[in-house]
């Protein structure tokens, strides 16, 4: 039984290669990488050839016993095709393109998926058959407001790890107050380190705050075509607190698609960007989705960010 189970779960045809031989241009075939096959599992390919020139399709692979598998098909395009097959080719093309954008969306990829979906009348992430209203319903005469909600620091998390920095600048009159307390014979730390912000001194009701020294902004808005000054100032202020890994330097060009006061989609223009760190791109996308938009934005914004550390 164990031997039979291993045979069933092991591929019986691997390393499949699809080759075309014939006149004219080569067909576009999906899936672009043929999968390994198990027992009684068929290989299904969808191809498109614009010039309709006949040719030969070669399928090669290695069977479970290590033997070479070769199959040849003579393709004749003189007969009228089935429109349903064309839609199946379109579906597999969209699936292949979306798999290529699993890390982040690109401008070229989004445009190609949209064009394919519209051409073959297919549903995709960027096309729909039903229009959905994106209106934000609020009480008449009121505006959306943003509020900072204080939360407690999670257990086993320190301020130093979240806020960063090791410097300090005493404010709120802390220096004068500390000197007065020391003259009264109360022993206090000379200065409050930033990692222990805020400090409640023993036997008192006074807090003495320490703040981090000014640092150079690491994520900066270079241009934002489609954002007004208010929204651009809000975004710059939000990005002031973002920290990127050391040694990062480059520009990132994005297209932001808004739906009123909500950022709906972010598309990366890879041709215009000089920053290619996938993990950092994913982090910046999370930052932008978390940005509180100050007012409704009804258009697509082309945003250029300078990232440096």
Per-residue pLDDT of the chain (309 residues; tens, 9 = 90+): 344 334 445 678 888 888 888 888 888 888 888 888 888 888 888 888 888 888 898 999 998 778 888 889 888 877 766 778 888 999 999 999 999 888 888 889 999 999 999 888 898 888 877 666 666 666 666 766 767 777 776 766 655 555 544 434 444 445 555 566 556 665 554 444 433 344 444 444 444 544 444 456 788 899 999 888 888 889 988 898 888 888 888 999 999 988 877 888 899 998 899 988 888 888 898 899 888 888 888 788 999 999 988
Q: How far apart are CA 307 and CA 290, in angstroms?
A: 18
pLDDT for 133 equals 65
Residue positions counted in the chain: 309
> Left if phi > 0, otherwise alpha if psi is -120 to 50, otherwise beta: which for 173?
left
Cα atoms found within 13 Å of the Cα of residue 201, Cβ hemisphere only: 18
pLDDT for 240 equals 87
pLDDT for 91 equals 92
* Sign of the dihedral defined by the CA atoms of residues 160, 161, 166, 169, in that order: negative
pLDDT for 131 equals 62
Strands (DSSP E) along the chain, which ranges?
13-22, 28-30, 46-48, 55-63, 68-75, 199-200, 207-208, 219-225, 249-259, 262-268, 300-308
Contact of 36 with 22, CB cutoff 8 Å? no
pLDDT for 295 equals 85
Q: How far apart are CA 109 and CA 128, in angstroms?
A: 17
Q: How far apart are CA 160 and CA 228, in angstroms?
A: 35
């Amino acid at each position: 039984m164990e031997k039979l189970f291993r045979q069933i779960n092991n591929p019986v045809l691997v390393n499949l290669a699809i080759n075309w031989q014939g006149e004219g241009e080569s067909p576009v075939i999906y899936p672009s990488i043929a999968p390994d096959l198990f027992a009684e599992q068929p290989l299904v390919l969808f191809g498109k050839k614009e010039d309709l020139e006949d040719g030969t399709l070669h399928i090669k692979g290695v069977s479970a016993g290590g033997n070479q598998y070769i199959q040849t098909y003579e393709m004749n395009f003189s007969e009228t095709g089935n429109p349903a097959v064309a839609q199946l080719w379109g579906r597999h093309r969209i699936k292949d393109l979306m798999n290529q954008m699993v890390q982040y969306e690109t401008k070229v990829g989004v445009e190609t998926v949209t064009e394919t979906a519209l051409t073959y009348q297919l549903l995709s992430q960027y096309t729909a058959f039903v229009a959905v209203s994106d209106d934000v319903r609020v009480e008449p005469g009121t505006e959306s407001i943003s509020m900072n909600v204080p939360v407690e620091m999670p257990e086993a998390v320190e301020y130093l790890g979240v806020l960063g920095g090791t410097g300090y600048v005493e404010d709120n009159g802390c220096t004068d107050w500390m000197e007065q307390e020391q003259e009264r014979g109360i022993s206090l730390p000379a200065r409050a380190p930033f990692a222990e912000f805020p400090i409640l001194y023993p036997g008192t009701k006074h807090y003495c705050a320490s703040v981090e020294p000014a640092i150079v902004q690491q994520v900066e808005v270079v241009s934002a075509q489609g954002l007004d000054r208010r929204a651009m100032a809000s975004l710059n202020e939000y990005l002031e607190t973002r920290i990127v890994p050391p040694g990062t330097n480059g520009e990132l060009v994005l297209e932001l698609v808004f739906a009123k006061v909500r950022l709906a989609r972010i598309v990366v223009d890879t041709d215009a960007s000089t920053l290619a760190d996938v993990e950092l791109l994913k982090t910046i996308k999370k930052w932008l989705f978390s940005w509180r938009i100050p007012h409704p934005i009804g258009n697509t914004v082309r945003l250029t960010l300078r990232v440096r550390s």
